[in-house]
A and B are shown apart, each in its own frame.
Chain A
Amino acid sequence: GAVVSQHPSWVICKSGTSVKIECRSLDFQATTMFWYRQFPKQSLMLMATSNEGSKATYEQGVEKDKFLINHASLTLSTLTVTSAHPEDSSFYICSALKSVNEQYFGPGTRLTVT
């Protein structure tokens, strides 16, 4: 297997502030990482595909100016939720692609916006 870490595991922030979530592949390099959002008792919803050294590809309906993604190295991608609002409260999961059919997930970040 392979290990993907995510930090923080949970965060509470005030409405209007920004919060950054880090996703790291610890024992492999990942050209491609994915960011998902998961609502309670629902499936994973892909937000964006993060490619090292290039701009992220956002899914339809996901605001790129609100959810900033930076894939600065082959082991790190970050998701910044800007000007967070209570409706942004959710569980955010990242994953990293080790090969075309090997996707490893981070443990997730629970974001609560008050």
Chain B
Amino acid sequence: AQTVTQSQPEMSVQEAETVTLSCTYDTSESDYYLFWYKQPPSRQMILVIRQEAYKQQNATENRFSVNFQKAAKSFSLKISDSQLGDAAMYFCAYRRRDNYGQNFVFGPGTRLSVLP
């Protein structure tokens, strides 16, 4: 079974600085998707960024980028120019590519605090 691990329960970053959140996963599949979701205090889950495993290029979305290391099964999220609104729980997630019915596997989450 696939598992997702986030080794940092809590992180903090100074406003305008850069922070990296770690995620590792375990799978025997070669084709899959990886995601970072954000859950602010409102508890609405929001997709931050998505990576397709067959793409070697790291995904980027404005201030958010990932470092995808397929061989190491690592998928870290870098937040640049951190803003107060970035404070939230961040969940790393995995999904197999080939099956609509396959569920998403979530990591335990990292709580990010942004200090003014």
B100 touches A100 (CB 8 A): yes
Interface residue? B97 (CB, 8 A): yes
Per-residue contact bits, chain B 35-53, to A (CB 8 Å; 1 contact, 0 not): 1010000111111001010
B98 nearest in chain A by CB position: A100
Interface residue? A70 (CB, 8 A): no
Determine chain A's interface SS by DSSP, over half rule: strand
Known interface pairs A43-B91, A43-B107; A101-B43 also in contact (CB < 8 Å): no
Number of A-B contacts (CB under 8 A): 54
Write out the residue numbers on chain A whose beta carbons fall within 8 Å of the beta carbon of B45: 44, 93, 95, 105
Whole-angstrom distance from the CB of A113 to the nearest CB of chain B? Answer: 19
Chain A interface residue bracket vs B? 20 to 34
Whole-angstrom distance from the CB of B109 to the nearest CB of chain A? Answer: 5
B103 touches A107 (CB 8 A): no
Interface residue? A13 (CB, 8 A): no
Interface residue? B85 (CB, 8 A): no
Interface residue? A31 (CB, 8 A): yes
Known interface pairs A44-B106, A108-B43; A49-B101 also in contact (CB < 8 Å): yes
Whole-angstrom distance from the CB of B68 to the nearest CB of chain A? Answer: 15
Interface residue? A19 (CB, 8 A): no
A108 touches B108 (CB 8 A): no
A107 touches B100 (CB 8 A): no
Which B84-116 residues sit within 8 Å CB-CB of chain A?
A: 91, 95, 97-101, 103-104, 106-109, 111
A interface with B by C-beta (< 8 Å): 31-32, 34, 38, 41-44, 46, 49, 51, 57, 91, 93, 95, 97, 100-101, 103-105, 107-108
B interface with A by C-beta (< 8 Å): 33, 35, 37, 42-47, 50, 52, 91, 95, 97-101, 103-104, 106-109, 111
